[in-house]
């Protein structure tokens, strides 16, 4: 059993990571970090954690204490700026679910995240862990962003087979994509009965996508009035190759990403609360273009599920251990 510390366990990503660690056959929870809940029992975060069967959950400690506790695996579930400030432990695997280490280029951070990176010379030590496209390596892993995950799952396998100019990603995410901290833009009066584009032309996942693809795309994110789930619709032009065949071949052995049969559209309801992703491929009969759609849960495959998947690969475990890959549509 590998011991686990979760830094920033009281946020959405931290809570989702905790939930998966508790049911993972090869991970043992060792430390729960939260500066706001330090000293409290686990049920202060969620009353369900105080029920019978979860008595082994430790009390919350500070994030600093969790980071330095010597766990085999440390999940960092903090804001971009907070995660950037941290000095990673000298041992064990570290999975950063923020955007603080997704680029090895220091200039990305002031331009796209709004701060100078405090540890620019250590950025090259982090690997980008998108298992189906860029498998994790080493012990310091940057977990991809949710929009980037969906766009790259749809586009990376076909990147060499499409025109590189004019690629558009129209993406929509549930409210939890913005994190648990309240903001004026996440008030019910703004979100409910509404769909809002935001950070148009300046979302931080755009350079992340471009870095992996090797060319830029136009990313337009939208906020959906739902709790969770993400849908990315990508508009591309084939260079004469059957893009469906390329995607089906790439994901033929994947237990996490499914290329749907022809004519079947990806559906948020099928991926919500899971760690899987669905991809649909369609021809635009009028323009001759191709539309590739990816659906996933922004907190699952877009965050905590992917973090667990990366740990599984690094430890040589079953890639799907601890993941939620099946649900019931009701």
Residue in 69, 146, 234, 294 annotated catalytic: 146
d(CA 109, CA 120): 10
Residue 69 falls in the annotated catalytic set? no
Catalytic residues: 146
């Amino acid at each position: 059993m590998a011991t686990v510390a979760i830094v920033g366990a009281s946020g959405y990503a931290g809570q989702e990571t905790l939930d998966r660690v508790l049911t993972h056959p090869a991970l043992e929870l060792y430390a729960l970090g939260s500066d706001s809940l330090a000293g409290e029992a686990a049920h202060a975060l969620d009353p369900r954690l105080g029920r019978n069967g979860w008595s082994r959950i430790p009390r919350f400690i500070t994030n600093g204490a969790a980071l330095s506790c010597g766990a085999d695996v440390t999940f960092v579930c903090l804001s971009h700026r907070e995660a950037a400030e941290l000095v990673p432990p000298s041992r064990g695997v570290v999975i950063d679910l923020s955007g603080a280490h997704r680029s090895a280029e220091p200039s990305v951070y002031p331009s796209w995240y709004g701060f100078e990176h405090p540890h620019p010379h250590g950025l090259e030590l982090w690997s980008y862990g998108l298992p189906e496209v860029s498998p994790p390596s080493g012990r310091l892993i940057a977990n991809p962003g949710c929009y980037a995950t969906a766009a790259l799952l749809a586009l990376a396998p076909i990147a060499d087979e499409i025109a590189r100019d004019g690629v558009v990603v129209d993406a929509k995410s549930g409210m939890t994509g913005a994190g648990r901290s309240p903001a004026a833009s996440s008030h019910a009066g703004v979100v409910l009965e509404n769909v809002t584009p935001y950070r148009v032309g300046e979302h931080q996942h755009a350079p992340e996508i471009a870095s992996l693809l090797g060319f830029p795309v136009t990313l337009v994110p939208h906020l959906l009035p739902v709790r969770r789930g993400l849908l990315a619709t990508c508009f591309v032009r084939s260079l004469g190759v059957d893009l469906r065949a390329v995607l089906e071949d790439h994901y033929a052995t994947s237990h996490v990403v499914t290329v749907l049969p022809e004519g079947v559209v990806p559906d948020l309801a099928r991926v919500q609360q899971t760690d899987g992703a669905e991809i649909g491929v369609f021809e635009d009969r009028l323009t001759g273009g191709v539309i590739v759609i990816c659906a996933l849960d922004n907190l699952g495959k877009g965050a905590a599920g992917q973090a667990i998947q990366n740990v599984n690969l690094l430890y040589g475990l079953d890639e799907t251990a601890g993941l939620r890959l099946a649900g019931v549509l009701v």
